[in-house]
Structure 1
Amino acid sequence: MTRRVIVALGLLFLFSGAMTGGISNPAGPADIKVIKERVLKSLMVPYDNSSEVERLIATISDDGMWPDIDYEDVSNEGFQHTRHLENMVLLARAYRVKPSHFYKSRKLKNTIELALRHWVDNDYICGNWWNNEIGTPTQLVNLMLITGDDLSKDLVEKAQPIIGRAHIDAPGARPGGDRIKIAGIQAKNMLFTGDGDTFEKVIEVIENEIKYVEWIGREYGYTYRLHEGGFSNRSAGGRGIQYGNSFHHRTDGVNNTLSYGLSYADSFIEWAVYTADTGYAFSEDKIARLVDYYLDGICKMAAFGKYPDPGAKNREVSRRGSLRPLSARNTEDLLKTTRYRAEELQEIANIRAHEGIKPTLSHATFFWNTEHFAYQRPEWYASVRMYSTRTYNMEVGYNSEGLLNHHRGDGTNHISRTGKEYDDIFPVFDYQKVPGTTIMQKESLPPPGEIQKLGLTDFVGAVTDGTYGAVAFDFKSPHDPLVARKSWFFFDDEYVCLGAGISCRQPLPVATTLNQCLLKGDVTLSSGNRQSVIAKGEKEYENVDWIFHDGIGYVFPGISKVSLKNNSAIGSWWDINKQTSTPKSQVSMEVFKLWLDHGRRPSDATYAYIVVPATSLEEMRQNNSSRNIDVLVNTPYIQAVRHTGNNICQAVFYKGGEINIGDNLTLSSDNPGIVMVKMKNGAITHISVSDPNRELTRFNLFVSARIEGSGNNWQAIWNAADGGSHISIELPQGNCAGESMTVSF
């Protein structure tokens, strides 16, 4: 039976200029031929390194092995066999792609067959399932498509069962990040074998994976513990695109948007391009859903839409190059398939393809099912990573990677002005001084098996109107006897960081880290309005007004004592990644590290500082940020800030309470939550609210001003006797619980 005609009456968008054209015809053999030609074109990449090809031909043994590969170690950490597979694909390109000195070379073909025979005779199985169902089949199916028609038929037949481990019912093809990738491998193999019926089914699987899934961790009682999360589970189980456009690969609620979620999008885009203008073309509504996830999830978790947010990365930081800029290619490919949100896609493509282009769109985005906040301005980007009873703190250190990541979710606050502040810093990183976090300073971190922990508090979230936002974290460390209430308040040119109730039961020091990044140039310190460039070293400074480094300022509104390091740090990739290919030699880098020491066993300690990204020394000397900011309250019960320049007040109520937000105007909340109030000419124009606990149906406020009226989701009643207005705002429910609601007056 041929694939359906994709004409979703009344639902299908007709996008002019798109490759798909909005309508697909019934699929047939001609479509298969077109798609196969497109796949082949993508694989037929010229390889002009003749010396490497000659080396591989010269060094292969009579039994098809290369001397620089360990064929004995098939462990998760080892499996150098991937290089054997890569060598075969490299040689296949040299054999088939013009112009090549080795084009159709019999000697080269013999080398390929010798290497392939070794593989099919030994059928190496890795301890890591991913290699068996994704890595190995990917390389072998590429080999077949490039040069399989020229290879011995018995070798091709023997390779099929190995390639066939990648199929839509395979153990690893769980809903989420790996299912699309495995389906894509199978689809390519069906193109090679000519199985059109199976190809059709696999393409439908790929298309139907683009959907939102319900996060199973949002209900009280950790209900996701009742969901089987292993290979045998065929239900979504919270895995996939979340409401709010983050991505979960597993049932732990850990943010995987820039790892599995990125390859998930890449695989869909790849097949959207391959199948465009054929009877197998994806429907416009599925492509539009993918574009929304791509722009509002992936791109918003990248500084300027280009540089991956370190706070959104997990064990990948222990791999060199994990923060390299995202490619423009997948964005450009999306533009070949649709005109939906084309201007935004084109801007991202331009930013990634060229240096120096900054985004025009500013945003404040909270991914409520993932407890991650991202904030973009044209000249800077920042984020906050948290966790709650609804999510785990960090990915497990799978395959002996990311071995020191215990605290990288504890309110982590990365700051990017160039996008390159943290490039490959992680072998020399101090993992007990993660930017933004408050951590008990231990002699050493717990074993890697204790990295992943369930969050201990419900009150974790953010309020945002899409442009500005405030973040709150009722932090209880799952590793240490430490608590703190932490909040961040974001504006156009600066943001404010508050901490209160910092208490620890162990007689050990506790530190809050402002930043730890690569050292770039001088560090200037101001004390008593006198500035000086400080010498390299590590030292504690008293009575600090502000510190400036690499275009970022750190302002201390009160009398502050700070600790600072601006010299070399030494470490090793091997300390954080035990893969056999990981170098064990020492690495030295120049590092900037700034933190506040709360002393040993603090009780109800506090902090307050302002971060001024994308600034200059002259602007720091003018100290405008400090003059624009009023820290209204900083207690364990309420934390609130007013920005006089923006006329915005943001407040975190850990319990119901009242504050004065200026000009004889009071704001009261009957319930815990986060509130943002915008004003103009002394009058309230907008109120945004959110419920970090995800329990309320309505948010109840009182303001000492006259506001009357109602809307679809709010009501305001003036009460002369009380001297103010009672405002009730309906909150998002279900899959959107934790999202903000904004009303305008």
Structure 2
Amino acid sequence: MTINLKPVALLFCLLLAHSAQSDDFVLIKQRVFQNLMETPVDKNEVANLLNSIQENGTWPDINYQDVSREGFQHSRHSANIVTLARAYNTKSSRFFKSTKVKNVVELALKNWVDHDYICDNWWHNQIGTPNNLVHVMLLIGDELPKDLVEKAQPIINRANIDAPGARPGGDRIKIAGIQAKNLLFLGDRETFDEVVRVIENEIKYVEWIGRKYGYTYRINSSGFANRSAGGRGIQYGNSFHHRGDGVNNTLSYGLSYADAFVEWAVYTANTRYSFADDKQERLVDYFLDGICKTSIYGKFPDPGAKNRSVCRRGTLRPYSAKTAENLLLATAYRRKELKEIADIRNQGIKPTVSHATFFWNTGHFSYQRPDWFTSVRMYSTRTHNMEEPYNSEGLLNHHRGDGANHISRTGDEYYDIFPVFDYQKVPGATIMQKAELPAPNQIQKLGLTDFVGAVTDGIYGAVAFDFKSPHDPLVARKSWFFFDEEYVCLGAGISCKQNLPVVTTVNQCLLRGEVALSSQNKKVTVEKGEKTFENVDWVFHDRIGYVFPNPTDVELKNSAATGSWWNISKQISTPKEEVTADVFKLWLNHGSRPSDAAYEYIVVPATSMEKMEENRSKNNITILKNTPEIQAVENTNLEICQVVFYKGGEIEIFPTVKLFSDNPGIVMLKMKNGSITEISVADPNRELSRFNLSVSTKIEKSGETFTASWNENTRMTHISIELPGGNYAGSSATVKL
């Protein structure tokens, strides 16, 4: 949860001059109290709590019997006490220092300490409940009866750095933060210093356990018993793993991990407890290059990076600017970039950063231009496909990692679509259409192939996914090629052993306005409904174009879809009533039991109907090859060629230029006036120390990490490029010629 520290008020605190009598410990306690008091008091809510509490200290609208993972409404009880304690201390409130409020706080707290409610989900016991109770102590604890305070302490102390849930890489930093607040309340300066250092030292890169040989060849003692990082935490490349499964948690646990550190970086700023500069800089790098580059414009969550949280209403709402603003208060490092993120989130300005970012330890690729954002989600033998459906959430997520490719212009294209979502038509994924999905306990699967990766120079990139479904007897070679105004999606070798239809979904998002398409050069506006269209040249919806280089039969739906949140989440609080939303869905049907089927389409985000009719993107793009062995695309306007070699081979790229690769891998070539100026390479298999290729043009140059030598007899230049190794294996190498 993002902390709500008001910059102006907090800046005043940070700039307080320390007198000879100043006390950093007391100052930090004051800052924590001030932060707790920033939440406005809702007088109607407080009045209702005061009037509805029962003689035994319970509230009638809370089920106190259900302590299950899906239930535990008790968390509302402890949160209510915090609300009342805040009202008691709010000078502008009519409840300020109210005896009635204080009595109700005591009554409700007594009920809790007498019953010591324990949830089946450990998180409430070691994080949720202690966090609420320590906030009560900091707000009003000095005025409560000593016996109540003493009885609350064992419950609060379940949040401590030696607790089972305080595993490195995620929950440890949050639990340590709760303990630190309690030490402020208790006045334990010595232990506070130790705990603050624990928080500081949690900001570090950890080695992913699947790096060397693939996940299945590593022994990983996960769970509460494992006190080492075990691959959990900030990954090299700035994604985040919360567990030992390799699933991307950057926008869930990784977000709260960063906020917990930022919270204490601000609390301790300009005191003797301040965090070291290198730790703060590491956190800023993770925030800007991990969290923000996984997010649409650094502002909206990328639905492709979300896991079970898609079943929660509002999960794709835009992020607050508070984290960026608080980092600006804590450090001067990368100040301009932090300020831009704050302005994007506060003022809605366009981003100036265009990037192509591959998180190689997570199998996630994101791509941004000022007017659009997209991503590709994959998995390999090094990672699992999706988070498990913990707490009965995300019950239909089986295929959401199968090359999911979401497309955004505004950031809200998929907002709360998930109760009506067709989970067998995930954008970008190729999926066998079954009567129903397997049981939720079959969602998480380990990837079955090694060749999963991307090449990027930071601005452009290409992605390859040797896809073998862990759920179905289905294989495909899938690739994506990214440029400034468009990107190209290729599929080849699509084969299935079962006699069921297989489809590739181009997109499934909320319906926004009319849908138009062109077939045999005739443009039509599509009537609402679901229909198959033959020989389609392009489809246009919500300023996004879908271009088919060869006339293609497509299936399209632009009408209402019905479902419910209860279908995807069995939490006690989950609504069960039906939900309806208008949906745009476009997919390609490869037929039943396909063998070596293929697809080719170009996505043109942030375009117009006029540009679609001009067919500009189709004219800029040349698909050089789309086979199970090689997939390659050239952008003639940018003079960029990107090639995926699933095994060594050759291909003619630019006119009169041939490219040979001695090994599997991905290559990106940049040309200028007929000459190769830059080469980027990557090894998705992560087996090579050097990438060896040849081109039929003369180059004679060498550098620290590469050699290029011309052979007069073969009329070829052999190029050998050193690849990143160790924790950077799977990332790209770029050489300038």
**Which category of TM-score, normalised to the shorter sequence, fits these structures?**
over 0.9
Whether the 8 Å contact between 1:27 and 1:278 is mirrored in structure 2 is no
Matched to 2:160, the amino acid is H
Q: Deviations over 1:148-184 (max 9, x none)?
A: 1111111111100000000001000000110100000
- SS of the residue 1:560 aligns to: strand
Aligned-residue offset at 1:51:
2.1
Q: Alignment partner for residue 416 of structure 1, among 389, 408, 412?
A: 408
> What corresponds to 2:650 in structure 1?
658
Cα distance 1:325–1:291, how it changes in 2: closer, same or farther (>3 A)?
same
The separation in 2 between residues aligned to 1:414 and 1:274, in whole angstroms, is 38
Please tell me whether residue 62 in structure 1 is matched to residue 49 in structure 2.
Answer: no
> What corresponds to 1:241 in structure 2?
234
The separation in 2 between residues aligned to 1:621 and 1:85, in whole angstroms, is 60
Aligned pairs, how many?
726
- SS of the residue 1:71 aligns to: coil
> What corresponds to 1:11 in structure 2?
none
Question: What pairs up with 1:34-53 in 2 under 5 angstroms?
Answer: 34-45=27-38, 47-53=40-46
TM-score after normalising by structure 1: 0.96
Q: Deviations over 1:660-691 (max 9, x none)?
A: 00211000100000000000000000000000
Cα distance 1:213–1:26, how it changes in 2: closer, same or farther (>3 A)?
farther
The separation in 2 between residues aligned to 1:202 and 1:18, in whole angstroms, is 26
Shift >4 Å, 4+ stretches = 17-21, 24-29
Please tell me whether residue 728 in structure 1 is matched to residue 720 in structure 2.
Answer: yes
Aligned-residue offset at 1:587:
0.3
> What corresponds to 1:150 in structure 2?
143
Whether the 8 Å contact between 1:167 and 1:173 is mirrored in structure 2 is yes
Cα distance 1:221–1:93, how it changes in 2: closer, same or farther (>3 A)?
closer
Cα distance 1:673–1:27, how it changes in 2: closer, same or farther (>3 A)?
farther
Matched to 2:158, the amino acid is R
Cα distance 1:242–1:224, how it changes in 2: closer, same or farther (>3 A)?
farther
Question: What pairs up with 1:9-48 in 2 under 5 angstroms?
Answer: 30-45=23-38, 47-48=40-41
- SS of the residue 1:558 aligns to: strand
Please tell me whether residue 468 in structure 1 is matched to residue 460 in structure 2.
Answer: yes
Q: Alignment partner for residue 253 of structure 2, among 238, 241, 260?
A: 260
The separation in 1 between residues aligned to 2:693 and 2:20, in whole angstroms, is 58
Matched to 1:579, the amino acid is Q
Whether the 8 Å contact between 1:18 and 1:336 is mirrored in structure 2 is no
RMSD: 1.6
Bigger shift: residues 471-480 or 26-35? 26-35
> What corresponds to 1:84 in structure 2?
77
Q: Alignment partner for residue 521 of structure 2, among 529, 539, 556?
A: 529
TM-score after normalising by structure 2: 0.97
Aligned-residue offset at 1:25:
11
Bigger shift: residues 696-705 or 213-222? 213-222
The separation in 2 between residues aligned to 1:195 and 1:581, in whole angstroms, is 39
Aligned-residue offset at 1:55:
1.4
Matched to 1:666, the amino acid is K
> What corresponds to 1:123 in structure 2?
116
Cα distance 1:618–1:96, how it changes in 2: closer, same or farther (>3 A)?
same
The separation in 1 between residues aligned to 2:611 and 2:344, in whole angstroms, is 27
Q: Deviations over 1:568-606 (max 9, x none)?
A: 000000000000000000000000000000000000000
> What corresponds to 1:556 in structure 2?
548
Please tell me whether residue 442 in structure 1 is matched to residue 434 in structure 2.
Answer: yes
Q: Deviations over 1:397-438 (max 9, x none)?
A: 000000000000000001000000000100000000000000
Matched to 1:564, the amino acid is L
Q: Alignment partner for residue 396 of structure 2, among 404, 408, 419?
A: 404
Q: Deviations over 1:119-147 (max 9, x none)?
A: 00000000000000000001000011011
Q: Which runs of 5+ in 1 are unaligned?
A: 1-16
> What corresponds to 2:588 in structure 1?
596
Matched to 1:274, the amino acid is Y
Whether the 8 Å contact between 2:262 and 2:326 is mirrored in structure 1 is yes
Please tell me whether residue 425 in structure 1 is matched to residue 425 in structure 2.
Answer: no
Whether the 8 Å contact between 1:18 and 1:339 is mirrored in structure 2 is no
Q: Deviations over 1:699-724 (max 9, x none)?
A: 00010000011101000110011111
Cα distance 1:29–1:206, how it changes in 2: closer, same or farther (>3 A)?
farther
Matched to 1:529, the amino acid is N
The separation in 1 between residues aligned to 2:49 and 2:238, in whole angstroms, is 45
The separation in 2 between residues aligned to 1:51 and 1:667, in whole angstroms, is 71
Whether the 8 Å contact between 2:723 and 2:729 is mirrored in structure 1 is yes
Whether the 8 Å contact between 1:460 and 1:693 is mirrored in structure 2 is yes
> What corresponds to 1:7 in structure 2?
none
Q: Alignment partner for residue 483 of structure 1, among 472, 475, 483?
A: 475
Aligned-residue offset at 1:50:
1.9
> What corresponds to 1:6 in structure 2?
none
The separation in 2 between residues aligned to 1:79 and 1:663, in whole angstroms, is 66
Question: What pairs up with 1:90-129 in 2 under 5 angstroms?
Answer: 90-129=83-122
Bigger shift: residues 28-37 or 254-263? 28-37
**Identity across aligned pairs (percent)?**
69
Aligned-residue offset at 1:227:
1.3
Please tell me whether residue 218 in structure 1 is matched to residue 211 in structure 2.
Answer: yes
The separation in 1 between residues aligned to 2:18 and 2:375, in whole angstroms, is 45
Matched to 2:129, the amino acid is T
- SS of the residue 1:323 aligns to: coil
> What corresponds to 1:582 in structure 2?
574
The separation in 1 between residues aligned to 2:556 and 2:39, in whole angstroms, is 50
Q: Alignment partner for residue 231 of structure 1, among 214, 224, 235?
A: 224
Q: Alignment partner for residue 684 of structure 2, among 689, 692, 709?
A: 692
Cα distance 1:657–1:144, how it changes in 2: closer, same or farther (>3 A)?
same
Aligned-residue offset at 1:642:
0.3
Aligned-residue offset at 1:224:
6.5
The separation in 2 between residues aligned to 1:586 and 1:223, in whole angstroms, is 42
